[in-house]
């Protein structure tokens, strides 16, 4: 009788494990807000806590205001990084480090002047990743970059006559608000 009762009990299927995604692609809203900087990143997490990231930021746009007023925050910036996830990849808190190189040209953004140059930088940061659903995440991050730059400053709002040159170190903030898609 006991065997009949056991045979009639429904067999419980193994509990479904959540899908494990090793890759994500993302775009950063902060970069888009910087006068339309096109950006994308890809991240790979081969293990339980470590991830590797490659990104590109590119802004070719110049905005005209009148005949001699132009505004631009042009850049081409490749980024490589490593990320440590405290709990699990793409969930919760993380710490990261990154290196980048950048070529830039800025006009009428921070003041009425124009400057351009190139920089290399290394940075550290931390952030938090919120699960939106199975494949989508919202990631918030903040950090600091230590940069070595070579910048030329120009008189007026259009890059023309040189007014100065500066080469040396700088500390820069690095903020991000990214939407991530896992696969």
Residues 58-89: tens digit of each pLDDT:
999 998 876 667 899 999 999 999 999 999 99
> What's the pLDDT at 2?
46
Mean pLDDT to the nearest integer, 1-25 = 60
Report helix, strand or coil for 3.
helix
Long-range contacts of 48-51 (CB under 8 A, 24+ apart): 48/85, 48/88, 48/89, 49/84, 49/85, 49/86, 49/88, 49/89, 50/82, 50/83, 50/84, 50/85, 51/82, 51/83, 51/84, 51/85, 51/89
| Separation CA 31–CA 25 (nearest Å) | 15
| pLDDT bucket at 18, cuts 50 / 70 / 90 | low
Q: Is 132 left (phi over 0), alpha (psi -120 to 50) or beta?
A: alpha
With 80 as the cut, is the pLDDT of residue 11 above it?
no
Q: Is the dihedral of CA 80, 84, 89, 90 positive or negative?
A: negative
Report helix, strand or coil for 7.
helix
pTM: 0.86
> What's the pLDDT at 151?
96
The share of the chain scoring above pLDDT 90, in percent, equals 74
Q: Are 117 and 154 in contact (CB under 8 A)?
A: no
The domain defined by 21-182 carries CATH number 3.30.2170: no
| pLDDT bucket at 5, cuts 50 / 70 / 90 | very low
């Amino acid at each position: 009788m006991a065997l009949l009762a056991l045979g009639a009990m429904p067999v419980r299927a193994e509990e479904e494990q959540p899908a494990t995604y090793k890759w994500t692609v993302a775009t950063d809203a902060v970069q888009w807000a910087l006068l339309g900087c096109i950006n994308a990143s890809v991240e790979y997490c081969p293990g339980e806590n470590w991830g590797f990231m490659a990104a590109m930021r590119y802004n070719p746009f110049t905005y005209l205001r009148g005949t001699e007023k132009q505004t631009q925050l042009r850049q081409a910036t490749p980024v490589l990084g490593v990320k440590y996830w405290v709990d699990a990849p793409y969930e919760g808190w993380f710490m990261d480090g990154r290196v980048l190189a950048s070529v830039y040209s800025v006009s009428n953004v921070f003041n009425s002047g124009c400057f351009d140059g190139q920089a290399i930088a290394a940075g550290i940061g931390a952030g938090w990743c919120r699960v939106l659903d199975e494949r989508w995440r919202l990631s918030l991050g903040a950090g600091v970059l230590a940069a070595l730059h070579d910048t030329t400053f120009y008189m007026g709002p259009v890059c023309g006559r040189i007014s100065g040159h500066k080469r040396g170190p700088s500390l820069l903030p690095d903020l991000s608000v990214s939407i991530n898609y896992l696969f």
